[in-house]
Amino acid sequence: MIQTVSVEELHNRIDELLARARSAGDEVIVSEGGTPVLRVEPIGGEPRPRQPRKPGSAKGQIWIADDFDDPLPEEVLRAFEGEE
């Protein structure tokens, strides 16, 4: 079983959640501010099947500036090279 809990709930229920992971193989997703940030799952046993990747699944969610691969400004380049 997969269960989602907040960081605070994980803190308050860690012993119970670890016991369930050990005995029943439960998986816990920990969220912070409603965003999943951590997965706690038992080690060993059968590997969990992964969902195949779907090309284009992030379409419209990512933006890349037109100049992302332009040369760096001289002052930034010098800083990277330790000259400043």
Q: What is the largest CA-CA distance in the chain?
A: 59
- Determine the average pLDDT of the residues in 26-50: 83
Domain count, the chain: 1
Query: How many other C-beta atoms are found inside a 10 Å radius of the C-beta of residue 9?
Result: 15
Give me the domain span that covers residue 23: 2-44+59-80
Q: What is the pLDDT of residue 84?
A: 65
Q: What is the pLDDT of residue 32?
A: 93
Q: What is the pLDDT of residue 50?
A: 76
Residue 39 maps to a domain: yes
**The total number of residues written for the chain in this structure:** 84
For residue 3, how far is the Cα from the chain centroid?
16
| Average pLDDT of the chain to the nearest whole number | 87
40 vs 3, 8, 74, CA distance in Å? 10, 15, 45
Residue 12 maps to a domain: yes
**Residue 47: pLDDT band with limits 50, 70, 90:** low
Q: Per the structure block, which two tokens stand in for 62?
A: 């990512």
State yes or no: pLDDT of 18 exceeds 90.
no
48-60 confidence digits (pLDDT tens): 677 788 898 888 9
